Amino acid sequence: MAQPLELRAHALQCLLEPDPGTKTALIAALAQAHLAAGWVVDNGAAFDVTRPIPGRPERPLLVPPRLVGRRSMVTVEGRAMLVHSLAHIEFNAMNLALDALWRFPDLPAEYYTDWLRVAKEEAYHFSMLAAHLQVLGYQYGDFPAHDSLWEMVEKTKGDVVARMALVPRTLEARGLDAIPPLRAKIAQAGDMAAAAILDIILRDEVGHVEIGNRWYRYLCEQRGLDPQTAYAELALRYEAPVLKGPFNLDARRRAGFTEAELVDFS
């Protein structure tokens, strides 16, 4: 009998892989194996991690957000810079899903299944954007990028409640607000292929933020915390960014934010 798939160990292997193409292929293979074979959540495993987390290629050059550069839609290069920025966000997003999967033990099996689904979908998003970059004449890594999303992943590595509060339901939820105007801008420039990719990303990101919301509330319940009070304390403790409108209230509602929470975004 084949040994059951050790889900967290395999997620860590994917996370440590530096090559984006290999990483997305490993994630797809892990998701397929998870569907096709027996698996276990290897909570008792000891992970000796000596390689950098996450595995990433030498490029793009990581710079402060203000140095990323302007993204004019007038030129092909400007559109490529925008697509590159989105690809980098999705690269970090698949890594954060893998990190959420392997780092935090002793959670219900559905938690790991959820985050594997997120990793698979984020890898698909990255692959679509990287392929479109090639259509525009560029490669992932050709432009500088910033690492704000991963910085919060690193800050919250010691507390799964903080991770769920401040990464999927704060920083990733920001994408729900940002994608519609970006989609309109790139469609106006005539790049309907990129606009179609953004439609897919927005659809999937609603589900990803819902997963973050659901597990955040589950964990708050387990710890006897009020979700709104705990969120305010975590945002202050971990110096989460203060979000500014406009907000996509419909998408946030579909992603599981309560009406009481949405008052803060009105």
* Contact by Cβ (8 Å): 70, 78: yes
Q: How many domains does the chain have?
A: 1
Please name which of 177, 179, 165 lies closest in space to residue 253, comparing C-alpha atoms. 177
Structure tokens at 57: 């290629």
SS3 62: strand
Question: Residue 236: which residues within 8 A CB-CB, separation 6 or more?
Answer: none
Q: How far apart are CA 19 and CA 144, in angstroms?
A: 17
The model's pLDDT over 96-130, given as tens digits with 9 standing for 90+, comes to 999 999 999 999 999 999 999 999 999 999 999 99
Q: Which amino acid is at 54?
A: P
pTM of the model: 0.95
Q: What is the mean pLDDT of the chain?
A: 93
Predicted confidence (pLDDT) at residue 158 exceeds the cutoff of 50: yes
Q: Which amino acid is at 214?
A: R
Q: How confident is the model at residue 65 (pLDDT cuts 50, 70, 90)?
A: confident
Q: How confident is the model at residue 72 (pLDDT cuts 50, 70, 90)?
A: confident
User: In this predicted structure, what is the pLDDT of residue 77?
Assistant: 93
Segment holding 6, helix H or strand E:
strand 5-6
Structure tokens at 120: 């698979």
The model's pLDDT over 192-235, given as tens digits with 9 standing for 90+, comes to 999 999 999 999 999 999 999 999 999 999 999 999 999 999 99
Question: Residue 110: which residues within 8 A CB-CB, separation 6 or more?
Answer: none
Q: What is the mean pLDDT of residues 82-102?
A: 96
Predicted confidence (pLDDT) at residue 2 exceeds the cutoff of 60: no
Q: What is the CATH number of the domain that holds 57?
A: 1.20.1260
Residues above pLDDT 90, as percent of the chain: 82
Q: How confident is the model at residue 1 (pLDDT cuts 50, 70, 90)?
A: very low
Strand partners, 15: none
User: In this predicted structure, what is the pLDDT of residue 225?
Assistant: 98
* Contact by Cβ (8 Å): 168, 208: yes
Q: How confident is the model at residue 66 (pLDDT cuts 50, 70, 90)?
A: confident
Strand partners, 40: 6
Q: What is the mean pLDDT of residues 8-26?
A: 96
Structure tokens at 51: 């390689």
The model's pLDDT over 43-59, given as tens digits with 9 standing for 90+, comes to 877 788 889 999 999 99
For 222, the domain range is 5-265
Please name which of 102, 105, 79, 107 lies closest in space to residue 27, comparing C-alpha atoms. 102
Q: How far apart are CA 100 and CA 106, in angstroms?
A: 12
Q: How confident is the model at residue 266 (pLDDT cuts 50, 70, 90)?
A: low
User: In this predicted structure, what is the pLDDT of residue 37?
Assistant: 77
SS3 111: helix
